[in-house]
Amino acid sequence: MDLGILAWGDTGWGDELARGVLTTVAIASAAYLVGAALGTLLAAMKLSGTPAMNVPAAVYTTTMRGIPEMLVIYLVFFGGGALSSWIASSVLGIHDRVDLPSFAVGVVCIALSVAAYACEVIRGAVLAVPGGQIEAAEAVGMTRSQRNRLVVAPQAFRMALPGMTNVWQFALKDTALVSIIGVTEVMRTASIGSDATKQPFTFYFAALVIFIVIAYLSQRLFVRLQASADRGVRWGS
Amino acid sequence: MQALVATDIRKAFGSLEVLRGVSLRANKGDVIAIIGGSGSGKSTFLRCLNLLEVPDAGSLWLNGITLDFNRSGPAGGTTPKAKAELRRRLGMVFQSFNLWTHMSALDNIIAGPIHVLGQDRKEARAIGLDLLDRVGLADKADAFPAQLSGGQQQRVAIARALAMRPEALLFDEPTSALDPELVGEVLKVIQGLAAEGRTMILVTHEMAFARDVATHVMFFHDGRVEEEGRPDLIFSNPGSERCRSFLKKFL
Ligand SMILES: Nc1ncnc2c1ncn2[C@@H]1O[C@H](COP(=O)(O)OP(=O)(O)O)[C@@H](O)[C@H]1O
Ligand SMILES: [Mg+2]
């Protein structure tokens, strides 16, 4: 194992891998934030109690959690690309092939599945807010939105955090899948490097270390967030 | 002077008739104790008074607003605005305290005044600290509910209700969830409020306390007021056999 090929600059792959890390973290973070927002919306729909809202939300989450992530990526990237080309040629009269931007597609696809998982986590957390505390909010005359903002949301946030930490780990791992549509994140960089140098072990081991480090650092961030959300609420915090 | 009047309140859950026409009239400064067996409808009646349950029929009057549930239409023809106003003007203390666990004691107390009454934070804090002092918890402003004993939590909950400057206070078995040695500290606070002339409706199993503090006692049975009157009369010489045997279990 020659670690020299992982050096920074023209001679090594260190800078390429670092760029891969940035791409991986950027995709995962963007997908996570978009997905969490979408998941909150879906959870609100599911909790609304009106069939027109919760049926579509339930269909969405069940579908998204039931199909492979890879299928979503192929469908959006290749299917979406073909559809766009067809629309371009038949509606707009442009006969060039339309390629969707792979980074954006990657973010969207991972966000779509993050949303489905986040929805369940958030919904569970909202339902776990004690009913008595909600009644206490009503009893002081809070409006529905005040009650949600001041009483439900902060507590649901705290209770959703462990589950949302898991969702983050999924999002992070799922970024490897978008290498198939040509996004040069960590996985694809490692693969290119391995092909070019014929040193697969070095590159995939480096990728492994990179994922562990990202996972470890982000885990620490979530632990901190949890500790601050738990402040005073749980014993020993 | 009348403070709160409930007339012929009825409430059913599915086919279970829990309240079969209950009326209550509280004058300013009255302390009305509601007693009765488990499942007789005491809590449901109290919850109907501030619309945590919406009555199926009957009416409520609170100095200046009337809610009539006999008329048809959503929630018996009452407007959301009237409901919110009624709730704002009545304080509620629950058996299980129901403090907001993510807020300090002081924040629990000032959330309503700031967001519902529109008090500014500084004023609300000053009033809140004053109220904490009144319930004997001046040093617990920054404590979270999980760091307080049940008796302390209930006293914070009372302060939270008082901070809304309610015209009447509703208590639903405020000491039933407490360890016996903590009951006294909460009853003392309630007694102090009675002495100030606050209007209170109190569901309780503390018969000695009800006898000492109440100005009027209502005995519930099976969704009706079986007997009511002055506490000295009810407790020493109940008219109905049911009330007599109920009270025997406590004395
Ligand atoms: N939300 C509800 N749904 C169905 N039944 C209820 C509900 N609330 C209370 N009840 C029933 O109504 C009856 C009276 O309850 P409650 O008013 O709590 O009695 P009490 O406070 O006198 O013990 C009980 O039989 C109880 O099971
Ligand atoms: Mg009860």
Task: Give A165 to chain B, closest Cα distance, Å.
Answer: 20
In the prediction, which pLDDT does A94 show?
Answer: 81
Please give the distance of CA A177 from its chain centroid, rounded to a whole number. Answer: 12
**In contact, B41 and B100? CB cutoff 8 Å:** no
| Interchain proximity A136–B111, CB inside 8 Å | no
What are the structural domains of chain B? 2-99+168-248 (3.40.50.300)
| pLDDT bucket at A234, cuts 50 / 70 / 90 | low
Report how far residue B230's alpha carbon sits from residue B215's, in angstroms, rounded to the nearest whole number: 6
Residue closest via CA to ligand 1's atom 12 equals: B18
Q: Which residue of B has its CA nearest to A140?
A: B88
**Angstroms from B107 CA to nearest CA on chain A:** 11
Q: Are B127 and B160 in contact (CB under 8 A)?
A: no
Ion ligand 2 nearby residues (CB, 5 A): B 43
Pocket test for ligand 1, best of B10, B13, B40, B218 (most atoms within 8 A of CB): B13
For residues A232 and B228, the model is more confident at: B228
Asked whether the predicted pLDDT for residue B76 surpasses 80, the reply is no
Q: Where are the domains positioned within chain A? A: 21-184
At A143, is the secondary structure helix, strand, or coil? coil
Alpha-carbon span A114 to A99, nearest angstrom: 24
ipTM of the complex: 0.93
Lowest mean pLDDT among A61-65, A111-115, A195-199, B72-76: B72-76
Give kind and range of the element (H or E) at residue B2: strand B2-13
B199-223 burial, b at 16+ Cβ within 10 Å, e below that, comes to bbbbbbbbbebbbebbbbbbbbbeb
Domain A21-184 has CATH 3.40.190.10: no
Question: Where residue A236 falls among pLDDT bands split at 50, 70, 90?
Answer: very low
As given in the structure block, the two tokens for residue A231 are: 């402040």
Closest ligand to the CA of B37? 1
What's the confidence (pLDDT) of residue B75?
A: 54
Give the number of the atom of ligand 1 that is nearest the alpha carbon of residue B223. Answer: 14
pLDDT at A237: 40
Query: What pLDDT, in 10s, does the model give residues B91-136?
Result: 999 999 999 999 999 999 999 999 999 999 999 999 999 999 999 9
The pLDDT value given to residue B159: 97
Phi first, then psi: what are they for B222, rounded to 5°?
55, 45
> Within a 10 A sphere around the Cβ of B94, how many other Cβ atoms?
25
Q: Measure the CA–CA gap between A146 and B72, rounded to whole angstroms.
A: 29
- pTM here? 0.88
Question: Residues A1-28: what's their mean pLDDT?
Answer: 85
B 186-245 → A contacts, CB under 8 A: none
Give the separation between CA B172 and CA B159, rounded to whole angstroms. Answer: 15
pLDDT of the residue at A235: 54
Q: Is B206 left (phi over 0), alpha (psi -120 to 50) or beta?
A: beta
CB atoms A141 and B94 under 8 Å: no
| Tens-digit pLDDT profile for residues B175-226 | 999 999 999 999 999 999 999 999 999 999 999 999 999 999 999 999 999 9
